[in-house]
Amino acid sequence: MRGKVGCGRVVRRPAAAWAAVLVLLAGVAPSLAARPALAAPGCFGGKPAPAPRATGDQWAQRWLDPRRLHRLGTARTVRVAVLDSGVDSSHRQLAKAVDRGWDLVADEAGGTIDCVGHGTAVASLIAARPDGDASLVGVAPEARIIPIRVSENATGSTRYRDVTPGRLAAGIRRAIALKADVIHVSFAVGSGSAGLRSAVADAVRRQIVVVAAVGDDTVGETYPAAYPGVLGVGAVDQSGQRWTDSGSGPHMDLMAPGVNLVAAARVDGHVAIGGTAAAAALVSGAAALVRGNHPKWTAAQVAEHLLATADGTPGGAYSVDYGYGSVNPYRALAEPIGTPVPSPSPKPMPAAAVRPSPEPGMPATTRRALLWAGGVGLATALVAVGYAAAVALLRHRRRVSG
């Protein structure tokens, strides 16, 4: 059965708003979909002109601070499989990053045909190489990208109707065969399958870190994010709040920036991209860095360390809207290694981001009245709530650990 599909949403802008977007993103092209949807050999249509080059500051780069981050670690030996629409390796920031992958659409080796540009953009968030004053640099710029083309969407639509649980399962198995260390899945289908569950379980057994978007405009659990051992990722905006279209639920583990991100366009230049697939790409890059620094760690140890070093969010230590918080690659590399315990305390957001004010405390008179009138009842309730929270936390940690 074909499930509802959610993928990283391309930010659409009408031509009249281009100037505003260029100011906002310091020269970034307005959208992937606004440009001709067809580009690479094997796609209908001609080769597109290069997009504008982004050289200004951008909020997600300030948030993650990759240039400072990269002084702490490398992902030189790490291979990240990207299950998306393919990756155009002709982009100057990806040319030295992309290995030979697999094209499930054509059923042949390759994966470097990208008819819509989404996979190219996602791959660049993971591993784009620095390029002078370009705004874009990947979270793990020394990682290798293995493109796994699972979609041939050539209409510019962000709904990838040709993606099914079966195709995702085949993509994961191909990534395993190509010796991926991290598997990034841009898609979220509304119904799983025995084949997809088995493919994920096989990847986890082989100590591959699996990261999946929870989906855009989705309701309820999505797959493969909901399977044991998978890091399900949602998106936050510039204020640190959950992006309004980000999926949520018990399959949520981490958040990451997912609105107006600068990414690579096909051929050259940059575009704006958003959605949970883009957010998941940042987590995949962080996983690649941790794996590169700790090559002997199991996949569960990598995942648990990312959870333990996540920044707290308005949702607290864990919530179905925010998971364990927003990924912090710098903390993941810099903080001492120990038994991972999710951080309950938030780290200050970037200067441009604002957190909601804390809830006011209960008045002292009310507290005394409650203690006097219902001490025993209150204690019983607290025990019950604490037990329920512990069970929920244990369930999610077991799911991530596989």
Report the C-alpha gap between 356 and 181 in whole angstroms: 38
**CA angle 139–173–140, rounded 5-degree value:** 10
* Side-chain-side CA neighbours of residue 15 (13 Å): 1
5 or 354: which carries more pLDDT confidence?
5
**41 pLDDT exceeds 70?**
no
> Which sign, positive or negative, has the C-alpha torsion 226, 310, 318, 278?
negative
CATH architecture of 5-349: 3-Layer(aba) Sandwich (3.40)
Consecutive H or E run containing 257: strand 254-257
**334 pLDDT exceeds 60?**
yes
**384 pLDDT exceeds 70?**
no
Report the C-alpha gap between 100 and 213 in whole angstroms: 24
- Residue 356 banded pLDDT, cuts 50, 70, 90: very low
**360 pLDDT exceeds 80?**
no
Please provide the average confidence, as pLDDT, over all residues in the chain.
Answer: 78
Task: Please indicate, yes or no, whether the overall pTM of this predicted structure exceeds 0.85.
Answer: no
* Domain chopping of the chain, boundaries: 5-349, 365-402
Report the C-alpha gap between 136 and 130 in whole angstroms: 7
Sole residue written with tokens 């009138």: 373
Report the C-alpha gap between 201 and 204 in whole angstroms: 5
Sequence-ordered list of residues with C-beta below 8 angstroms from that of 238, at least 6 positions apart, any chain = 59, 257, 259, 260, 352, 353
370 or 265: which carries more pLDDT confidence?
265
**290 pLDDT exceeds 70?**
yes
pLDDT of residue 399: 60
> Which sign, positive or negative, has the C-alpha torsion 330, 335, 340, 344?
negative
pLDDT of residue 139: 95
323 or 42: which carries more pLDDT confidence?
323
**Among candidate residues 136, 193, 142, 135, the one with its CA nearest the CA of residue 169:** 193
Mean pLDDT (whole number) for 21-50: 48
**1 pLDDT exceeds 50?**
no
Mean pLDDT (whole number) for 141-156: 82
pLDDT of residue 152: 75
pLDDT of residue 316: 64
233 or 397: which carries more pLDDT confidence?
233
pLDDT of residue 281: 98
pLDDT digits (tens, 9 = 90+) for 151-200: 876 433 344 557 999 999 999 999 999 999 999 999 999 999 999 999 99
Which two three-digit tokens encode residue 216?
């855009």
Mean pLDDT (whole number) for 288-302: 95
